[in-house]
Chains A and B, each alone.
Chain A
């Protein structure tokens, strides 16, 4: 079963760790050119789904399709030129500089005797400019603030030059200013034509930035579509067991989820 509409999809996929299945028979399509956000309560399988889409996790049944073909049957370097991933907690080697780390993103385009082409130079410079880290180029990654560091990692993934970009909780561990900074950057990349998939925790941020939402619960997809359609009081309660009201975000007009006040708060 292949369809040419979505560049990345899961077909009847069973995902899990060892013998524990988190999701069974999952069908997902990542629409091209959209900023997709996967959301759901803790342990609902959203990170597992992202890992499977990024081929970090092999489905025990079913398939993940990249451009219509099983992702695990394609050469790993070829996949790395189509699909980039920023893991939840990436490791920066001690003492590495920003420029060096961003340059690592060129790996799938390089070889033993093709270590640093003029193209590599240009792409790395562009990736650093796009994420506004050019001034930090010679600084050590471990000296940076959390927000700066996350922008550097995004620059590294951008240097990989992939049409698809997967981000696993890119805003976790950041304060609110840096969260917005990272999401604004994602929105800018989306406007420039990049297909993005991110796992986010904050519903209101998801509503404001995503163009496509995938809501999960207990390993299954509960709702899928544009934020205005998905983020209704009924659906949010179904996903999170959280009674709430939905109002229009005064800044953007997107849905804003307001949890109902409990007896304690009254």
Chain B
């Protein structure tokens, strides 16, 4: 009978061993993940109890445990929880996409916004809105196809060469520029009403999301998380450069292609449901790197993404001057302020940029 052993000889990263199996836990990473999770839960609880139909924590708890009034239970279970779950999963998808693209491109600015996936999703959404009069479901589907199509295009254009580093970034920027042009053209061809809806979609929003959408994006997130868990060791080795990674026995091309696909799928899932929420994918990995003191935590980046979107959505619900805002307006501000704060407070610690 094997016992679980904890080897704490390395104080910063104790090892948990079970027979032949061993897992290494960095204390600071574990603390950052735990802390982010706690703050995320606190904000989620607060967001679920506030809004235009405010209820206290006791009423929220009663509704959650199915002991509340019919009205409370309806509000919590059909309006607020689906929106919360959607927001958390969308944020986690975008955070994961960001850290995958940054690792893959070895570039701190590599994100779906820079590489054109967001623009591709927008093209899909605009086509749906203009050509099909776009319900939420069709628009989501078209946006997902747009993002996936862009990911595929980038893959095909970088194939044969090195699908990482500068090549990936340059191809992505080129694709993004072309798509931005197409999007501009599409917007000029619309009537005022469609253009207004399009701009609203372009801002990104979580209002009115139901369990179907929450379930869809949760499934995408689960698939992305499993894929990332399998790829994470290879991606970690890729940070040492392709030559060293190959020498260490990583199937470099296979890992890069699989990571590109995973990143495209989670981007598509997130953007399809919520629209291109600004800044989340870019900021989440940097914030996670500063919290954990290492750029290696994919889980923390996903959690930070979830936290940014949830906090932004809570702020959007409360609104400014009693007026609700689209979520996308707030994500940029919330993520930006948090990143600035971290940059200023940690300036002297010499953690990675």
Contact = CB atoms under 8 A, between A and B. Distances in A.
Contacts of A78: 249
Given A87-B247, A114-B21, A116-B15, A94 B240 contact: no
Interface stretch (A102-110, A204-212, A215-223): A102-110
Contact of B247 (A80, A94, A96, A112): A80
A91 B244 contact: yes
A96 B233 CA distance: 16
Contact of B350 (A85, A89, A90, A95): A95
Given A114-B22, A117-B22, A85 B233 contact: no
A91 B22 CA distance: 27
Q: Which one of B237, B246, B247, B250 has the greatest number of beta carbons of chain A within 10 Å?
A: B247
A76 interface: yes
B237 A104 contact: yes
Contact of A93 (B7, B9, B240): B240
Contacts of A92: 240
B6 to A, nearest CB: 12
A247 interface: no
Nearest to A115: B24
A85 B22 contact: no
A150 interface: no
Nearest to A88: B243
Q: Which one of B20, B21, B233, B248 has the greatest number of beta carbons of chain A within 10 Å?
A: B248
Nearest to A94: B352
Contacts of B248: 80, 104-105, 107-108, 160
Given A76-B246, A94-B295, A95-B350, A112 B233 contact: yes
B303 to A, nearest CB: 20
A116 B243 contact: no
Contact of A85 (B9, B15, B244): B244
Given A76-B249, A80-B248, A95-B293, A113 B243 contact: no
Contacts of B321: none
B24 A116 contact: yes
A115 B249 contact: no
B350 to A, nearest CB: 7
A81 interface: yes
Nearest to A100: B294
Contacts of B15: 115-116, 121
Interface in B1-56: 7, 9, 15, 17, 20-24
Contact of B250 (A76, A89, A90): A76
B350 A116 contact: no
A238 interface: no
Contacts of A56: 243, 246-247
Interface string A55-96: 110000000000000000000111111011111011111111
Nearest to A142: B350
B167 interface: no
Nearest to B296: A93
A86 B246 CA distance: 11
A140 interface: yes
B178 to A, nearest CB: 27
A140 B243 contact: no
B62 interface: no
Nearest to A110: B233
B243 A114 contact: no
Given A112-B229, A112-B230, A140-B350, A90 B241 contact: yes
Contacts of A198: none
Interface of A: 54-56, 76-81, 83-87, 89-96, 104-105, 107-108, 110, 112-118, 121, 140, 157, 160
Interface of B: 7, 9, 15, 17, 20-24, 106, 229-230, 233, 236-237, 239-241, 243-244, 246-251, 293-295, 350-353
20 contacts: A76-B246, A76-B250, A79-B249, A80-B249, A85-B244, A85-B247, A87-B247, A90-B243, A91-B239, A91-B240, A94-B353, A95-B350, A107-B237, A108-B248, A112-B233, A114-B22, A115-B24, A116-B22, A117-B20, A140-B350
Closest 5 CB pairs of A and B: A80-B249, A94-B352, A87-B243, A85-B247, A77-B249
